[in-house]
Structure 1
């Protein structure tokens, strides 16, 4: 199996720099691979996966696009939900699957189709676990917003917060969409 813990496309300058690349923690990667196997009947493409490491603060690149064929892992900043961080500390305190919670959810998501919504280009997510099964009715999606741009960290120590969506800076969203695509796994956890 390729070395999924170290290499990064960020070092190659393939997209706007966001911060020093981080490595996927081995325990989190192990859980993601188990989840990928458990949901193999629903995950059409297994060449790339996404992992959101909500054990890290929003000021660190904690969303990984992992190429399962060559082991490259690219990290990005990603915002979490307001309900998961009510004090706006930059750290996820809790997850929820309840409508109206404004929380991020944990578990396995299946990436779905793209659409144009309130935040421009967005990607639907389908929750495959009991911990995120309401992702569609809650409109938990991937999109971009100004409050998740790396420049936010120049004026405050954390990103802004979403209503539970996975939110990226506008300069990074096309790269994320291009590499992730529909039919792949997004694994969200805090371990």
Structure 2
């Protein structure tokens, strides 16, 4: 676990620098949804494509079975996706797995060190279009533009930018079920409605417009563990 977070300080300094550089050109990301407030209209701004990842040989993996806390069938699907998209995933030492079969009140965003087996879990929101009645459970996935839903499949973590949620990270959809991720501005960002106190107050997190929204205090740790060029796999098994 130490190896997964020992770069947090340097990563945080890098991200702050990136934020200052990008501050003059804010880009739109996933708009916020909360438990009690209506969503702000999404600004239809263009999203420039991230740089193409340079294919590298797959990193050796010593973790042959699912780490504790991750269901075996889910882990197997994630590893299969990593192998399927290996030519586009240039960093294969760690992966992130979003288990959307669990409610938003559970720690369902898993980060796995594939070489050492260490794991870390976080809260993560799903899209309003995936849970229109706000039950706290994801009901469906969608890849459609303006669906405000979470998409299923493998994502490539791309470049950072500064948008309406401050420092955020673009995602590239790698599967037929999520290839519209860039056009939909599906990104990683921090949000107050994904903070743990929402569960104490409402029993569930707020909803995004399809983005992977984590608690504001978790964002630096997430960026340090995920970085650019790694894979996120999201599904409901």
Query: TM-score by structure 1 length?
Result: 0.90
Structure 2 residue 188 is the aligned partner of structure 1 residue 142: yes
Q: Which runs of 5+ in 2 are unaligned?
A: 1-61
The Cα offsets for residues 142-187 of structure 1, whole Å up to 9 and x where unpaired, read as 0011000011111011100000000001010000011100100000
1:125 maps to what in 2?
Answer: 171
Between the aligned partners of 2:159 and 2:89, the Cα distance in structure 1 is: 14
Structure showing the higher strand proportion among its residues: 1
1:109 maps to what in 2?
Answer: 155
> Would you identify which runs of 4 or more consecutive aligned residues in structure 1 move more than 2 Å?
1-4
CA offset at residue 73 of structure 1? 1.3
- Among 114, 136, 139, the alignment partner of 1:90 is 136
Query: TM-score by structure 2 length?
Result: 0.73
Tell me the SS of whatever aligns to 2:125. coil
2:20 maps to what in 1?
Answer: none
Between the aligned partners of 1:162 and 1:93, the Cα distance in structure 2 is: 14
The Cα offsets for residues 40-63 of structure 1, whole Å up to 9 and x where unpaired, read as 100001000000000000000000
Aligned length in residues: 175
- Among 92, 107, 122, the alignment partner of 1:76 is 122
Structure 2 residue 207 is the aligned partner of structure 1 residue 161: yes
Between the aligned partners of 2:74 and 2:175, the Cα distance in structure 1 is: 17
1:5 maps to what in 2?
Answer: 67
The Cα offsets for residues 66-98 of structure 1, whole Å up to 9 and x where unpaired, read as 111100111100000000000000000000000
Q: Which runs of 5+ in 1 are unaligned?
A: 7-22
Structure 2 residue 83 is the aligned partner of structure 1 residue 47: no
Between the aligned partners of 2:121 and 2:66, the Cα distance in structure 1 is: 12
CA offset at residue 4 of structure 1? 4.4
Tell me the SS of whatever aligns to 2:76. helix
Q: Is the 8 A contact 2:127 2:209 kept in 1?
A: yes
